[in-house]
Amino acid sequence: MAKVTFHGVGIKALSACVPPEIVSNRDLGYLIPEEEIEKTINNIGIDQRRIAAPDVMASDLCFKAAQQLMADNDIAPESIDVLLFMSQTGDYRIPATSCLLQRRLGLPRETMCFDITLGCSGYIYALSTAFAYASMEGVNRVLLLDGETFSKIVNRRDKVDWPLYGDAGTATLIEKGDYGDSTFMLYTDGSGENTLKIHAGMRNPITPESCVEREQEEGNIRNDLEVFMDGMDVFNFAISKVPKSIKRLLQETDHTIDDVDYLVFHQANRFMMDFFVKKLKISPERVPYCISKYGNTSSSSVPLTISSELNGRLDGTHTVVLSAFGAGLSWGAAIMQTRDCNVSPVIEY
């Protein structure tokens, strides 16, 4: 079991950037019968999403978020020792996008940069990596950029995925300081590899055929370079694993649900999060949602929710739990004491 605890490191600041282009789920008449649109919106809790222009990448959104964070907190580029980029929609297959961001952000050549790739659970994993490096001798500050542009890998005629996903980029600054303990518990079940998948890649090489759109299950259209999701299996996975993982984290760290000031979920869909809230018996005002405005932004949804809903609310000391889950299957939760965490409001690209 991966249960890891850190001392004397924490989140100093956080920011997020979304594309200005708004796509409303009320315009999905071409995909969903008109009479079912309102019901679908109520159920998934997503009114609208931000969709990046064709020439705007996850790295661009993260770059803007990072610039904002550095300006708001007076962070000198030279003070950043490690840059992590967490995404499944990086600029290129080679090189790592974090290297490109090192140059764009004017970070010194002494900066250690690498990419992390995981599904919607990615932020919790990447944050544990950032905390681990920040705990090491020789590292003071880690800049974690987590961004996704799923609009580029979801087919607009896929009625399972298209109403859900939005694009966003975020920046989180982790550093040594007078922070309390943080504990992460991380889990994996690779037997669920087919639940959420892009078929074409290395094992199934990309050919001209991969780009051909085909009608798939229940009339959904996609090609082999686009995301498939079995919504029912993801739901079953999430409801059976997520509440238990949070209960266990609280138990292992001698907390109760009433100790938690804010519980930030990966914004998968509203129905699912409401189910978690009920199951965990946490008061709903402690569970921020931004899904109605931004949709499911994959791994960036946890920091986007903090930026959107908790800016100005993390002054002083707070007990915060973060929980995310997704492709792999992969899931995890973290509990930490935030101290005067400076959260910038969401900006537009």
Instruction: Report the DSSP pairing between strands 167-176 and 182-188.
Output: unpaired
d(CA 136, CA 113): 16
Which conformational region is residue 138 in: left (phi greater than 0), alpha (psi within -120 to 50 degrees), or beta? left
- Is 292 a binder of other proteins (CB under 8 A)? no
Among 24, 207, 236, 283, binds other proteins (CB under 8 A): 236
- According to DSSP, residue 191 is labeled G
CB closer to other proteins out of 236 and 283:
236
CB closer to other proteins out of 40 and 188:
40
d(CA 238, CA 322): 15
- Is 233 a binder of other proteins (CB under 8 A)? yes
- Is 232 a binder of other proteins (CB under 8 A)? yes
- Helical H segments across 139-297, by residue range: 231-252, 270-280, 291-294
As given in the structure block, the two tokens for residue 189 are 């079940």
- Is 239 a binder of other proteins (CB under 8 A)? yes
What does each C-alpha distance from 230 to 131, 223, 303, 311, 327 come to in angstroms? 33, 16, 25, 34, 11
Of residues 2-41, those binding other proteins (CB under 8 A): 36, 39-40
**Window 248-277: contact mask with other proteins (x via CB under 8 A):** -----------------------xx--x--
Span from 91-99, 144-152, 173-181, 227-235 in contact with other proteins (CB under 8 A): 227-235
Instruction: Report the DSSP pairing between strands 221-222 and 9-18.
Output: unpaired
In the complex, least distance from residue 195 CB atom to other proteins, rounded to whole angstroms = 9
In the complex, least distance from residue 129 CB atom to other proteins, rounded to whole angstroms = 30
- Is 74 a binder of other proteins (CB under 8 A)? no
Of residues 143-162, those binding other proteins (CB under 8 A): 160
CB closer to other proteins out of 209 and 215:
215
CB 325 within 8 A of CB 120: yes
CB closer to other proteins out of 116 and 268:
268
As given in the structure block, the two tokens for residue 4 are 């890891």
Q: What residue ranges bind other proteins (CB under 8 A)? A: 36, 39-40, 43-44, 160, 218, 230-233, 235-236, 239-240, 271-272, 275, 279
